Amino acid sequence: MDNSRVTLVDHPMVQHKLSILRDKATSCKQFRELVRELALFEGYEATRDLPLADVDVETPICTARCKQVSGKKLAVVPILRAGLGMVDGVLDLIPAARVGHLGMYRNEETHEPVPYYDKMPEDIANRTVLVVDPMLATGGSIISAVTYLRSRGVTGEIKLMVLVAAPEGIDAVLAADDNVHIYTCAIDEGLNSAAYIVPGLGDAGDRIFGTK
C-alpha cells in the first residue's frame, strides 16, 4: 500500500463515532446522522491542501490581510445510494460545491459494479472532485467512478472519501489510477466470501435508508 496516497483520519472523535456506526444496535436515524458528521470531519482533512489567496477585509478596526480559498471550484460526487448519506456533511463544509450523481450497485454474485445513472455538472472537467461513498470493499465501484470521471475530462487528483476501507480495495484503487488520494476513517482486516468488509459495518446503503 502506498501510504503517501492514503490518509487515515484517526482523530479521537472520528474513531469514537465510527465505533457507534459499526454497532449493529445503532438505529437508522443515528446511523444517518453519524455518516453525515463523519463526512464533515473527513472533508476537513480532504480539503486541507486547498490553495489560499490573500484578500483584504475591512474589520471594524482596520484593513486586515486575510486568506480565502482560491483555485478550482469543487464538485462532490456521491456513488448512489450509500454515498448520498455523506453529501450533506461535505456541503456543510463547502456550501458552494456542485453535486454530480453516479448510480451503481454491486452484482451480488460477481461483486462487479453495475452502473445505472450519471448526472454531472457541465464543467466537471474543470473542478476538483471529491467522490464520496462510505464503503471501499473490492474497489470495483470506486474504480468505475474514477474511470467515468476520467472519461468526462477530469485530469487532476481525484479525492476519494470513504469511511471504512478494505486493504484489497485500497490496493486495487491505487493501482488503477496514479492520481487519486484515499481518505478513510478505518482500514479493516479484509473481505469475507460475500465481499463484505470485516469487521465493517454491514450494508451501508441499507443502514442509511432503512431498507433491511
Residues 71/51, Cβ–Cβ less than 8 Å: yes
Query: Any known ligand binding at 89?
Result: no
Beta bridge partners of 186: 164
110 is catalytic: yes
> Out of 35, 120, 129, 135, which residue is the one contacting ligand PRP (CB under 6 A)?
135
Q: Cα(180)–Cα(48) distance, rounded to whole angstroms?
A: 15
- Tell me which residues in 170-189 interact with ligand URA (CB under 6 A): none
> Out of 78, 83, 89, 200, which residue is the one contacting ligand URA (CB under 6 A)?
200
Query: Any known ligand binding at 138?
Result: yes
Closer to ligand URA by Cβ: residue 97 or 162: 162
106 is catalytic: yes
Which among ligand URA, ligand PRP, none contacts residue 78 (Cβ within 5 to 8 A by kind)?
none
- Tell me which residues in 16-75 interact with ligand PRP (CB under 6 A): none
Which among ligand URA, ligand PRP, none contacts residue 136 (Cβ within 5 to 8 A by kind)?
ligand PRP
Query: Any known ligand binding at 140?
Result: yes
207 is catalytic: no
Closer to ligand PRP by Cβ: residue 51 or 116: 116
- Contact characters 100-139, ligand URA, x per CB under 6 A: -----------------------------------x-x--
Would you list the DSSP string of the chain?
--GGGEEE---HHHHHHHHHHH-TTS-HHHHHHHHHHHHHHHHHHHTTT--EEEEEEE-SSSEEEEEEE-SS-EEEEEEETTTHHHHHHHHHH-TT-EE-EEEEEE-TTT--EEEEEEE--TTGGGSEEEEE-SEESSSHHHHHHHHHHHHTT--SPEEEE-SEE-HHHHHHHHHH-TTEEEEESEE-SEE-TTS-EESS-S-HHHHHHT--
Shortest distance, position 51 Cβ to ligand URA, whole Å: 34
Q: Could you tell me which residues come within 8 angstroms of residue 133 by beta carbon, excluding any fewer than 6 positions away?
A: 78, 79, 82, 83, 86, 141, 142, 145, 160, 161, 162
List residues binding ligand PRP (CB under 6 A).
Answer: 79-82, 105-106, 111, 113, 133-141, 169, 195, 203-205
List residues binding ligand URA (CB under 6 A).
Answer: 82, 135, 137, 196-197, 200, 203-205
List residues with catalytic annotation: 106, 110, 203, 206
Which residues make up each annotated binding site for 5-phospho-alpha-D-ribose 1-diphosphate?
81, 106, 133-141, 203
